[in-house]
Amino acid sequence: MSVFSIWKRTLTAENTVVEGVRIDENEQCVVVSVRPDARRRQRCGRCGRPAPWFDAGRGRRRWRDLDHGVMRVFLEADAPRVDCRRHGVTVTAVPWARHGAGHTYAFDQQAAWMASECSKSATAQLMRTSWRTVGAIVERVVADRDRAVDRLAGLTRIGIDEISHRKGQKYMTVVVDHETAKVVWMADGHGKDVLDRFFDDLGKQRTARLTHISADGAAWIAQVLAERAAGAVRVMDPFHVIAWATDALDVERRASWNRARRQAADPDTARALKDSRFALWKNEADLTDRQAAKLTWIAATDPRLHRAWRLKEALRAVFTLAKTRPTAALSALDRWIGWARRCRIDGFVDLQRRIRRHHQAIRAALTTGMSNGLIESTNTKTRLIIRRGFGFHTADAIIALVMLTLASDRPTLPGRQPATE
């Protein structure tokens, strides 16, 4: 077997002829001279159709390929131009790389795999490229993969969430399929216009097939849903309701702390209340011994704050009960509303009003048995990925990274079969 055919075998490129291999001493890299084979020559880079020759273009070009041993590898070839009937003068297509890309398919594929599996710095270091370049690669890999996929087909139960990033100044809108917990649509920005765009993309027919839509309690969401998807049941996201209760509790904790601080005689109580935040936030079942002791202490020294904590825990219990006994959860919710109405703690009196305002959507959350845990974990993952995508050049690259990881099966490594389990 000749050296050229060994090189040909190590490349994942199809329809490619290896003409030579050399070391570029200046660049300290391996340069593999290649050309498309006879069947792939002289095709338009945009549509792939055969087209008449135009000129030699800008001469030889290089594409970064996967490393060989410790050295970087570049494929090098002529890049002539053709005159396509549809696209005019265009650089010819090459079988080893996407049109306009400076990296081979194999390089793109490995960078995309790493971006979805590894940290930002591990990806950039191992691929010897910038995180920004990884962003551009992820964008073109996802665009290619999704060209023939209709993620909005067959949806019946969806969840809409707005995810804030850059310290709450900017938002992205994410739509998740409740059946699969996959992200099906995403856009930069939030508000009525963005959500309208989603329903435009979805179209009337597919919108008519939606049975349930979960979202937070924002008035504008309710308004858009009433206008665009009146046939679907609006369902409140339980984790938003729990978050309201946690916020109400935190207001109460701070008020208690300020009261204790003002009574100058009581600096220890003030300090202890200040550190009690985590004990008050956590699920009762997840408390450490120290946190449980802190709650016992709060019960003895600040019965009002302890009552607020019990209200929050009781509301959480309503949603836990719904998983096994939805009907019982409905009456538990009404008992909770009665309790909160009479509790004389302003934050929770307000919260019960808010819950009554969204009564129908919350009741729907208790009875439809939608897999909110799955959606919540998808949202948590989306937040993490958005944060990882910060170094990218554009919001589109951040969105592509989310879609790469959470819209379908994760990418595979080049030259490997997808795992069969």
Query: Which parts of this chain interact with Zn ion (CB under 5 A)?
Result: 44, 46-47, 84, 86-87
Instruction: Tell me whether residue 44 or residue 224 sits nearer to Zn ion (CB atom).
Output: 44
Amino acid at 328: A
Residues 6+ apart with CB under 8 A from 311: 245, 249, 336, 339, 340, 343, 345, 348
Q: H or E element: which one contains 195?
A: helix 192-208
- Minimum distance, C-beta of residue 43 to Zn ion, in the bound complex (Å): 8
Instruction: Tell me whether residue 86 or residue 325 sits nearer to Zn ion (CB atom).
Output: 86
- Minimum distance, C-beta of residue 141 to Zn ion, in the bound complex (Å): 22
> Is residue 354 within 8 Å of 236, Cβ to Cβ?
no
- Minimum distance, C-beta of residue 281 to Zn ion, in the bound complex (Å): 58
> Is residue 84 within 8 Å of 389, Cβ to Cβ?
no
CA 366, CA 332: separation in Å to the nearest integer? 11
Which of 113, 145, 144 lies closest to 126 in space, CA to CA? 113
- Token pair belonging to 183: 């992200």
Instruction: Tell me whether residue 29 or residue 94 sits nearer to Zn ion (CB atom).
Output: 94
Instruction: Tell me whether residue 88 or residue 369 sits nearer to Zn ion (CB atom).
Output: 88
What is the full DSSP assignment across 224-271? Answer: HHHHH-TTSEEEE-HHHHHHHHHHHHHHHHHHHHHHHHHSTT-HHHHH
- Minimum distance, C-beta of residue 83 to Zn ion, in the bound complex (Å): 10
Residues 6+ apart with CB under 8 A from 364: 212, 233, 234, 235, 236
User: Residue with the closest Cβ to Zn ion?
Assistant: 44
CA 75, CA 68: separation in Å to the nearest integer? 12
- Minimum distance, C-beta of residue 84 to Zn ion, in the bound complex (Å): 3
Instruction: Tell me whether residue 86 or residue 128 sits nearer to Zn ion (CB atom).
Output: 86
- Minimum distance, C-beta of residue 58 to Zn ion, in the bound complex (Å): 19
Which of 411, 414, 413, 412 lies closest to 11 in space, CA to CA? 414
- Minimum distance, C-beta of residue 220 to Zn ion, in the bound complex (Å): 44
- Minimum distance, C-beta of residue 48 to Zn ion, in the bound complex (Å): 7
Q: Please, how many CA atoms are within 13 Å of residue 256, restricted to the half-sphere of its CB?
A: 31
Instruction: Tell me whether residue 46 or residue 316 sits nearer to Zn ion (CB atom).
Output: 46
Instruction: Tell me whether residue 84 or residue 280 sits nearer to Zn ion (CB atom).
Output: 84
Instruction: Tell me whether residue 23 or residue 89 sits nearer to Zn ion (CB atom).
Output: 89
